[in-house]
Amino acid sequence: MNIAIAINEKYIPYAYVMLVSLMENHRNISDTITVYILFGSIPDEKLEVFAQLEEAYGCSIVALQVPLDRLPKDLPHTEQWSVEVYFRLMLQDLMPEDVDRILYLDTDIVISGNIEEYYRTSFGENNEKVLVVNADMSAKRVGLTDSQNSLFESHIKNGDFTYFNAGVMLMNLDALRREFTLEKFLDEFAKRKDKIFAQEQDLLNDLFYGRTVYVDETRYDLFAKIAYNEGMGYEWVKKNTSIIHYAGRKPWSGEGLRYDTELIWWEYAAMTPFYTELMRALIEEEARLAYADTTIRRITREKSELGELVNRLKELVTNLTGEKL
């Protein structure tokens, strides 16, 4: 399997957790897995930690420095959507010619089961499909933004448009090389810039409408918090899911309330040299933010205020009708 990830220095520990989870669930073929790590500017000594994966699992790790000058300086990005998200648009340019398919994975993911079947999914009889993807669980439940609805208007009218998540994508590099370079992608992005909300994810959804194969997102791109909220807790996920995506708030973030599917991420984190560092950072952040305490106090206050409002409404109804509620 050929795997690609894109990181900055901050995300090295999280990428390491994801790669350990991948190797742990593919020990029988780990020596045939090549991981391409795309980065812009990370000191060599920081990248050396990934050599431990090669020693432990026999896999191949290839660090590829992306020429940042190929990306316009005004390319939209945020803390959540960093500039590294655009690196996936270069894969057809950067990968060796003999690599005909590659699985791109975000680094806020853990691999909790075998993904060989997904990796070998057909791109169609004539190799005409470009991506094998998963429906975006958040978009399916909450819907798209107004700008996205405008961007995808013609697709939506056809009645068969499903917005996909670009954090887990099997990419047909042979097909992409025939049609796209990074510069072509950027030209297409510029044409849609005013309507794009989710950076390159929106671009790919628009460009490759009708040219994608969909697989089961609850198996191959399960959004962990949504799963928990819908009753797919720890035991269900461990049994049924191969790729868990911690989209939104992360397991290592102290700003949030905990849920049990986070435990799966921490199980793999415990297998890495970063475990103590990650745990200490989480505890310190939680202590500093006191997020759970603040949230409970706010809910208690709002409950009390709501109770007072209900009582006033009852008094008003009694005064108007003479009937006590």
Residues 221 and 305 in one domain: no
Domain count, the chain: 2
Residues 212 and 309 in one domain: no
Residues in the chain: 325
Contacts of 51 (CB under 8 A, 6+ apart): 61
Residues 141 and 263 in one domain: yes
Under the banding of pLDDT at 50, 70 and 90, the label for residue 77 is low
pLDDT digits (tens, 9 = 90+) for 104-162: 999 999 999 999 999 999 999 899 999 999 999 999 999 999 999 999 999 999 999 99
Mean local confidence (pLDDT), 254-259 = 83
Residues 258 and 204 in one domain: yes
**What per-residue confidence (pLDDT) applies to 286?**
84
Residues 16 and 159 in one domain: yes
Residues 208 and 307 in one domain: no
pLDDT digits (tens, 9 = 90+) for 221-235: 999 999 999 999 999
What's the token pair of residue 136? 């975006």
Q: In the sheet where 34-39 sits, what is the strand order?
A: 60-65, 34-39, 2-7, 101-105, 164-172, 131-135, 212-215
Contacts of 169 (CB under 8 A, 6+ apart): 88, 103, 104, 131, 132, 133, 204
Mean local confidence (pLDDT), 288-308 = 79
Residues 250 and 303 in one domain: no
Residues 184 and 298 in one domain: no
Q: What is the pTM assigned to this prediction?
A: 0.89
Residues 22 and 111 in one domain: yes
Confidence check: pLDDT of 78 > 60: no
pLDDT digits (tens, 9 = 90+) for 165-214: 999 999 999 999 999 999 999 999 999 888 989 889 999 999 999 999 99
CA angle in degrees (0–180, nearest 5) for 252-258-259? 110
Residues 302 and 277 in one domain: no
Domain CATH number, residue 137? 3.90.550.10
Region for 225 from its dihedrals, namely left if φ exceeds 0, alpha if ψ lies in -120 to 50, beta otherwise? alpha
Residues 40 and 149 in one domain: yes
Residues 221 and 162 in one domain: yes
Domain that includes residue 50, residue range: 2-281
